[in-house]
Amino acid sequence: MSKIRETFINFDADLPSPTPDHRQWVVYTCKRAGAPYKWAGYLEAPDTELALQYAREHYGLDEACIGIICHDHTDGTDGPYGLEPLLPGEAHGDDGDCWTVFTLVHRGGNHQTAGNVKAPDADTALQRATSAFADGKIRSIRVVKSDRIYMTNDDESPIWPTHDMTYKLAKGYSKNVRAKWARFRDERTYEQYRKEDISKHF
C-alpha cells in the first residue's frame, strides 16, 4: 500500500452541516407596470433569498419583465379545475388573514394575480375567492397567504428594464436580423457605386 493510502486524515472540527433539501418554488413575472403577475415556471432553492436570486437570473433574463414574485409550492392551494367556467358562490366575509388570489382564464393558460380576499383558512379563502372573482370566464382559482409570497424590490429588479434584450424574443430577433441585412445591402450598394464611379473617372 502506498504511503498516501496509509495516511490517516484527522479532522480538526466536525464536518459542516449538510445543505438543506431544496424546496420547489412557483415563479410569476410582471411584464409592465400595472399588469398582473403571470405564472412563469418553477425552480428549486433551499430558501427564499436564493429562490428570488435564481428567479432573477433565470426568468429575469429569459423574459421581458419588470418584477418577480414567488412562493413555496406547498403554500398554494388550488380549487377544482373546471371544464366549464366557474360560477360565483355565496361565501363572503372579511375575517382572517389576507390571501392573494390567482385565476386561470383559459384552459392551458397560466395563473395570474387577480386580487385579495380575507379568510381564516385556505378552504374558506377559495370559497370567498370564487364568490369574488368567478365571473363565468375563469377556469381555476389558486390562493396563497399574502405573507408567504416574496417579491423583488427596486434594488433587485430583473435585468430586462436596464438592458436591451429584445434579441431574446422572436420579434426582436427578426428586427435585428432585418437591420443587419439592411446594413449589408447598403454596404454592397455603396461598394458597387464606388467601383462604378472609379471606373468612370479613371
Cell numbers for 38, please give them: 403571470
d(CA 147, CA 150): 8
Which helix (H) or strand (E) segment holds residue 52: the answer is: helix 48-62
157 neighbors 67 (Cβ within 8 angstroms): yes
pLDDT at residue number 175: 63
pLDDT band at 83 (very low <50, low <70, confident <90, very high): confident
132 vs 198 pLDDT, higher one: 132
Average pLDDT, the chain: 82
Cα–Cα nearest to 142, from 75, 61, 44: 75
Cell numbers for 83, please give them: 371544464
% of residues, the chain, pLDDT over 90 = 46
Residues in the chain: 202
